Amino acid sequence: MLKIYAIFGLSAAFIALSLACSCIRLEQQVGDMQLGTWCYAHWISKVNISQKIPDKPIKISKNVTLIGQNLHYVASHLEIFKGKQNISKNIFTTRTSASCGVDYLEPGLTYLLSGFYGEKGKLRINLCFFMPIERVNGHPEWSTVPDELYKRLKSGNFTRCRNQKKKIQL
């Protein structure tokens, strides 16, 4: 009986690992992750998060309720470095980090976010695609953004990607 539990436990662990978030590394594609983020992002912005709203649970029967799949952030764009200037204040991601969702942004804090225009032009972010900063893993709080990167963002000094034709899957 103990062997059955061990096999079941190992199987469950394998399934969990195989379903976890997995990202392609941009520096492998273009040699410089900041350049890769700039080249492939539809938008990059300094944002202040005002609300964090999970999807409402869906009751499918008396005893079964499914949690929503998405997380919705409401944000003020304090400075837009790339993308439309009339950018939406609504930013969406999947609800859990296991599905590459960005679940760690907190209301009242300011971040450097980069992302894509998703279905119907919705702003989307994920764990795989962010402006990298040394010793920060994920979308950085604005207070950690070095002056050198800020100047590069302001000037759009990412010239090598102008001729970038390679498409990547994120």
124 contacts 116 by C-beta, under 8 angstroms: yes
Please give the pLDDT value at position 7: 44
Beta pairing, strands 43-54 & 110-117: antiparallel
Please give the pLDDT value at position 157: 80
Tens of pLDDT along the chain (170 residues)?
545 434 444 333 333 334 578 776 555 444 566 777 888 899 999 999 999 998 877 777 777 776 678 899 999 999 999 998 889 999 999 888 888 899 999 999 999 999 999 988 899 999 888 888 777 778 999 999 999 899 989 988 876 665 454 444 44
Beta pairing, strands 43-54 & 123-124: unpaired
96 contacts 83 by C-beta, under 8 angstroms: no
Please give the pLDDT value at position 143: 94
CA end-to-end distance (rounded Å), the chain: 43
Residue 100, marked binder = no
45 contacts 91 by C-beta, under 8 angstroms: no
Domains and CATH numbers, the chain: 25-163 (2.40.50.120)
Please give the pLDDT value at position 142: 96
pTM here is: 0.76
Distance CA 135, CA 43 (A): 23
Please give the pLDDT value at position 99: 85
What is the 3-state secondary structure of the chain? CHHHHHHHHHHHHHHHHHCCCCCCCHHHHHCCHHHHHHHHCCEEEEEEEEEEEECCCEECCCCCEECCCEEEEEEEEEEEEECCCCCCCEEEEECCHHHCCCCCCCCCCEEEEEEEECHHHCEECCCCCCCCECCECCCCEHHHCCHHHHHHHHHCCCHHHHHCCCCCCC
49 contacts 90 by C-beta, under 8 angstroms: no
